[in-house]
Structure 1
């Protein structure tokens, strides 16, 4: 069964294409991301905090008509409903996130603290994704972020704060493993896929992994 894309992407792209916009290829949306791994006082991992910034074109399209007072600015209040819709759609795609504690897959609870900010033409979604059960990751805690279908292209920022821990036990170290750049021939092939196609991503790595190792 095909997964329903998050971020109201499908609705937005269908409307855009129907309005006479040029055909879109894969990926349809680009996201620049950061992540925080949040620990409880007892040393258990309790949640992840995602900070996702969308590309300028998608940010402009998806926010059309949301400036209710016509002052030329988008406030968090004006973006609140869009944030709610975005986050409510994320379970359909597994939050674009997987997590393992000591190698054991973890389940997620209901997201909290969702909010959108529009600054410098970029729309940024921030939300906290709790683990269903806090995990005592005595050896390691790993996450994987991205869309394996490449409908949404995630890029974890190349910066020291790309993936960080909050209140982790002393001595814990974060290591980030980004996917290799796609071969130009593969990029060209994906660019030729039409809006409704699901490309064959077999054997391709397009997600970013991060591992917290603790002493």
Structure 2
């Protein structure tokens, strides 16, 4: 049963996929601070493309009523929660040059609306993350199979009294410049490497906080 679920959601599991975008998601990230001056929560919303969404519906709509009933949606969410744990739920945090991990979310909520699969969940830093110095936050798949995009700068949001003291900048790399500056590294071997190279962060949109 579990193997079947993993295969059905293979596009979300980098170890099962080739390293170039096949699945596309529009995302929103909200960075929440607490009263102690730390980043307390990272709230994620992912809305997937219609092709991928329909494939998930086809595999998990067991009663064939063309929607995800609560139990079916919960199965999708639990599968994603278990399987993306090794990839930190695509959440990337760099605090003053140090890479930080996140704890598992309590749950990944799933809805199927207007022909698209919607996932929303909260992760927390695995260790205290004070709002000091330079902090970079981004959401990306290290293997390039899933493209997670923030269409507007406002889709990388902040909230909380402490975080208002930080300067907020959304960094959007120019893909042409990235390709030009990394021609020797972005070879066919990179795009076909199922293990991933993590060079996808060169193309990733990131939120920079200067506190």
TM range (shorter): 0.7 to 0.9
Q: Which residue of 1 aligns with 2:7?
A: 11
Offset, 1:118? 1.0
2:97 counterpart (82, 100, 103): 103
User: Structure 1: how far apart are the matches of 2:83 and 2:196?
Assistant: 22
Matched, 1:178 2:169: no
| Unaligned stretches of 5+ residues in structure 1 | 1-7, 16-23
Change (3 A) 1:73 1:13: closer
User: Structure 2: how far apart are the matches of 1:203 and 1:141?
Assistant: 19
Q: Is the 8 A contact 1:46 1:130 kept in 2?
A: yes
- Structure with the bigger percentage of strand: 1
Q: Which residue of 2 aligns with 1:3?
A: none
Q: Is the 8 A contact 1:148 1:205 kept in 2?
A: no
Q: Which residue of 2 aligns with 1:4?
A: none
- Structure with the bigger percentage of helix: 2
Structure 1 residues 128-143: aligned runs within 5 Å: 128-143=122-137
Q: Is the 8 A contact 1:75 1:118 kept in 2?
A: no
1:136-189 deviation digits (Å, cap 9, x = unpaired): 122232212212321111211224233333454433332111232359x99xx9
Offset, 1:90? 1.2
Structure 1 residues 144-155: aligned runs within 5 Å: 144-155=138-149
Q: Is the 8 A contact 1:28 1:152 kept in 2?
A: yes
1:23-76 deviation digits (Å, cap 9, x = unpaired): x99312112111111212211112211111111100100121534555443244
Q: Which residue of 2 aligns with 1:205?
A: 202
| Unaligned stretches of 5+ residues in structure 2 | 12-17, 181-185
Q: Using structure 2 for the length normalisation, give the TM-score.
A: 0.74
Q: Using structure 1 for the length normalisation, give the TM-score.
A: 0.73
Q: CA RMSD in A?
A: 3.6
1:100 alignment partner, SS class: strand
